[in-house]
Amino acid sequence: MASQAPSEILDGIAAARIAFEKNEAGSREALIDYSRALISSLEIPSEFVQRTFWAEPAQSAIIRIAVDVKLFQHLEEAGNKGLSPSALSEKTGINVSLLERLIRHLVAMNLITFHNGVFLGTKLSNDLAAEKYQHSISFCYDASRPAFNGFPEHFKNNGYQPPTLSGLDGPFQSAHKTDRAFFDWLVATPPHLDYFSSFMASYRAGKPDWFDFYPVQERLIEGFDASANEALLVDVGGGRGHDVTTFAARYESRPGKIVLQDREQVIATVKVEGTELPFEVQAHDFFTPQPIKAARAYSLHSILHDWGDEESVKIIENLVPALKKGYSRVLFNEIVVSEEKPTLAATNMDMMMLAHLNVRERSEAEWTSLLAKGGLKVIKVHTYPGVAESVIEAELA
């Protein structure tokens, strides 16, 4: 498909604006996409190169400095009064001349404003002052960025071949000069693990949960058979229980029980003495046979995208014997990459997986083929405007 002319994009912006004013789902994301498309249609090559290789990398570096000196927090605390260059210099410890140059770039990038002699925070910069985003910035700059910067040399050296499934010979290992797998490196190099956890906690912030657009009432609650198994939902590899906590709150009058499964060391952090949870917890490694038989639904949220095809099939095969044919659903909450019109959210995550774990996000055809190898068939792929991840609903083939 040929690229759109600026006039066509402007028409799209006008339509998206109306949808945005009506608070329609996905309208905000559509406006952002149209805005990016408009820039691409208007920029000349010299502007593109300067923005891509000067403006945006410089902004990232300045924001990383901002984390160390609590720049966004100082501006947030100042509120509408703002801070003069000298006052902000005193609070951050950055020489006033250097500070003005650095923050002037953030003003040009629309992250900070300057008015009547003072710097002022914006809604975005104030939001970035939250700890989870401060940690996310540190993780992305310190751990992720070197891996992306190393793409050209790494792939040139390996003959432009995709990484193997070992997870030990990818761009991440080359960039950080380590023989450790990504997650092992995080554990071995504090505070990267905590920062990564904050990054993952903030990754989906502000987005609908999978059960906001998957028809839970029609597909799970209706037809629930307590005689088959008391479990309505089993969250396989569900971490510390974010999904099941919000699911339980949303469906307080649901039938059946909810079970959170993860490795013993993770489950141990969920069990808090004297705290009553709205779900049960069970230690389980998804590379071993699923112990809960004939549940209505098994949810795997962003599990298979961490693994290559061989490992993913093993995970599925360990789940399949527990399913009741015609009754049990398997819900894979995953990114489904469009071949014709991939979203930036999908390709962003695909590049993250390539850089760090030597795996990939999959297209609908790849998902269908992968699940079939494990003994499942896809019933439907449920999507929602502006949400990167879909719910791939499957059952026994």
Encoded tokens for 177: 């000069």
Tell me the residue type at 378: V
* Whether the Cβ atoms of residue 259 and residue 234 lie closer than 8 Å to each other: yes
DSSP collapsed to 3 states, 167-204: CCCCHHHHHHCCCCCHHHHHHHCCCHHHHHHHHHHHHC
- DSSP class of residue 5 equals P
Is residue 305 part of the annotated active site? The answer reads yes
Encoded tokens for 93: 């410890």
Please give the full DSSP string across 266-329, using - where no structure is assigned: HHHHH--TTPPPSSEEEE--TTS--SS-S-SEEEEES-GGGS-HHHHHHHHHHHGGGPPTTT-E
Q: What are phi and psi of 387, to 5 degrees?
A: -105, 130
Encoded tokens for 96: 């006033």
The Cα 282–Cα 389 span in angstroms is 26
Question: Which of these is catalytic: 154, 192, 301, 305?
Answer: 305
The Cα 167–Cα 357 span in angstroms is 5
- The set of residues, in sequence order, having a beta carbon less than 8 Å from that of 255 and lying 6+ positions away, is 221, 224, 226, 232
* Among the listed residues 253, 190, 185, 191, the one whose alpha carbon sits nearest the alpha carbon of residue 221: 253
Q: Are strands 329-337 and 389-396 parallel, antiparallel or unpaired?
A: antiparallel
Conformation bin of residue 150: beta by default, left when phi > 0, alpha when psi is -120 to 50: alpha
* Positions marked catalytic: 305
